[in-house]
Amino acid sequence: MEAIEAGLADNDAVVATAVNNMPLIFKKEGSQITVNGAHMKPPMLVSNGLVYVIDTVLVPPMPLQPKY
C-alpha cells in the first residue's frame, strides 16, 4: 500500500490487474485509499506478511448471458 500511496496524488488513480484479469482501480481521496470503491483499512501485520482489509466484497464482472 505504501508504494501505491506514494505514487498517488489526491483524486489520482492507478490501475492494476488481478489474477482473474479483473481491473483493480486504486484511488486516493484525501488520506483514504480505495480499491474499486471499497475503502481500505490500515494493513495488519501477520506472521508471513501484511493483510489489507476492505469494506466490501469485490465481485468480478459477469459475462453477458445469451438471450434465447
Distance separating alpha carbons of residues 32 and 52, to the nearest angstrom: 13
Q: Which residues of 16-50 are buried (b: 16+ CB within 10 A; e: fewer)?
A: eeeeeeeeeebbbeeeebbbeeeebeeeeeeeeee
pLDDT in tens, 28-65: 888 888 999 999 998 899 999 999 999 999 988 777 77
Q: Is the pLDDT reported for residue 4 higher than 70? A: no
pLDDT value, residue 9:
79
